Amino acid sequence: MFTDSVKITLRAGKGGNGVVAWRREKYIPKGGPVGGNGGTGGSILLKTDVHVPSLEGFRNRRLIHAENGMPGGGNLRKGRNGTECVLTVPCGTLVKDLKSGEVLFDFTGENQEYLICKGGKGGKGNHCFKSPTNQAPNTCTPGLEGEVKEVELELKLIADVGLIGMPNAGKSTLMSKVTHVPVKIGAYPFTTLYPNLSYIQGPSRILVADIPGIIEGAHLNKGLGFAFLRHIERSSILIYVIDVSGFEERDPLDDFRVLMSELKAYSEEILKKPFLVVLNKIDQEGAEEHLHNFIQNYPFAKETLFPISAMLGEGIAPLVAAMRQLVHSP
- Angstrom distance (rounded) from CA 148 to CA 89: 19
Instruction: Give the model's pLDDT for residue 181.
Output: 67
CA dist 15 to 32, 33, 120, Å?
25, 21, 5
Q: Which fold has domain 161-328?
A: Rossmann fold (3.40.50)
Which percentage of the chain shows pLDDT scores above 70? 90
The pLDDT value given to residue 223: 47
Stretch 70-88: mean pLDDT: 96
Q: Where are the domains of the chain?
A: 1-155, 161-328
Between 300 and 2, name the one with better pLDDT. Answer: 300
Q: 113: which strand partners?
A: 47
CATH number of 1-155: 2.70.210.12
pLDDT at site 139 = 94
3-state SS, residue 303 = helix
CA 320 to chain centre: 27
At residue 220, the pLDDT reads 46
Read off the pLDDT of each residue in 146-161 and give the average, rounded to a whole number: 91
Instruction: Decide if pLDDT at 215 tops 80.
Output: no
Nearest-Å Rg of the Cα atoms of the chain is: 29
Alpha carbons 233 and 214: distance in angstroms, whole number: 14
User: CB 211: neighbour CB atoms within 10 A?
Assistant: 26
* Averaged pLDDT score across all residues of the chain: 87
Q: Compute the average pLDDT of residues 230-240.
A: 87
For residue 227, name the pLDDT band (cuts at 50, 70, 90): low
Per-residue pLDDT for 276 more than 60?
Answer: yes
Q: Above 50 in pLDDT, residue 241? A: yes
Pick the more confident residue, 16 or 56: 16
